Structure 1
């Protein structure tokens, strides 16, 4: 049995019936959901969407999510189109021993996880889009100075957050907060590399995350695809 960051052994694969996930591996938001699924040992029906061909603008996608963003999760009549909402929903829906480590049931620990999910959605992810979109759209060949400086400030904030803890959680293992942050930070690291000398704790945290099995199975492939695309355009 595989252990995750010091948490108990994971159960056998759980298949989520009636659930479908539309995703693009290049997207860090999609990879956050994929990592959460693998961390909880969940199996779900996945549909790959090619954003370069604008498949995310198809009538079927728009009818589920007018914002035309990925990922999208459909569970019977429920449709969710935010990665943070999707991961917390899946953890609550499954409610296994492992999911309780990723999303603790006690209010204090749960609030800490929510806090880092909000930091990712409100601070890091907008910076990722500001850095990547101009390059992916062909309007810039590199990250502009203003965005670079803002990302460096975010790295500094995260360095301080890790001053007294190994993970962005209250336990001795990664939480859903760590997973969402890792998906975004690993992608930002391609655009604006993390200086190990300036941010040693952040660098060590990302290295530890990269050693987790779910990171290897669910983040590396899409991250390599993103890196390759950026390399071709910059």
Structure 2
């Protein structure tokens, strides 16, 4: 269900849940997309990685591994995006659409999340981290080849289906969307070589959860890769709720659509196509 066909769903507020995250991280964006796809609102705390805020004593108590995201639900603390997504879908989503209730459907989603954590994300780190943190200015040839191999795997997984999980978007598509959309910035997907993967990425990019939870961080990552720009300090306004973030994203999306409509009207007036 894309942005144009999305229906209004009752907001569910979970005041006892907190997510510490950085928008440019694909892992954090996967959790944010899961939240938005379930219309769950929790407290979100933006962490400035460049200032080492993920290594403060308070954060180390929560996660000694010094990684993001970090999720806390009362006394439960989870520090892996896949575990967080599965927990949220299993604990707070009764429909079974994102995480199927039957063992077969659930195992397919689990299989995809294992591929994301074991193959896709390590290849993202190998390609991106030298550029982000080691003053490297390009993706190394071996990393390009590895990412291309992953694209070929994903192309095969989509044979005969529109979504990785089946007939609709599941957690499989959410975790893949966060990583693949980021990899696409580093190594653009060749539409002729990977037509199914390219079509899937376009389709998932029109989902409302992608618009509200992935686009901003993706743009931030792209700026950082291209020119080393760090996010404006004014972006670090926390804590805030998922609902507040979604409202802001909705306002920005409406402005973008308005600008596109205005641009089309101008082109029509000038007779330009």
Residue 214 (1) aligns with residue 209 (2): yes
Q: Which residue of 2 aligns with 1:118?
A: 114
C-alpha deviation, 1:233, in angstroms: 3.7
Query: Structure 2: 5+ residue runs without aligned partners?
Result: 230-273
1:196 aligns with 2:191: yes
Equivalent residue for 1:80?
Answer: 78
Structure 2 Cα separation of the partners of residues 59 and 42 of structure 1: 29
Structure 2 length-normalised TM: 0.81
Q: TM-score w.r.t. structure 1 length? A: 0.94
Of 227, 231, 236, the residue aligned with 1:232 is: 227
How many residues align? The count is 228
Mark the CA change 1:117 to 1:86 in structure 2 (over 3 Å): closer, same or farther.
same
How does 1:1-234 map onto structure 2 within 5 Å?
3=1, 11-97=9-95, 100-170=96-166, 172-233=167-228
DSSP 3-state at the match of 1:152: helix
Q: Deviations over 1:37-65 (max 9, x none)?
A: 00000000000000011111111111111
CA distance in 2, matches of 1:130, 1:139: 14
Taking the aligned partners of 2:227 and 2:54, their CA distance within structure 1 comes to: 22
Q: Which runs of 5+ in 1 are unaligned?
A: none
Q: CA deviation digits over 1:138-186, x for unaligned, max 9? A: 331111011110000000010011111111112x211001100000000
1:4 positional shift: 5.9
Moved over 6 A (4+): none
Q: Provide the aligned C-alpha RMSD in A.
A: 1.7
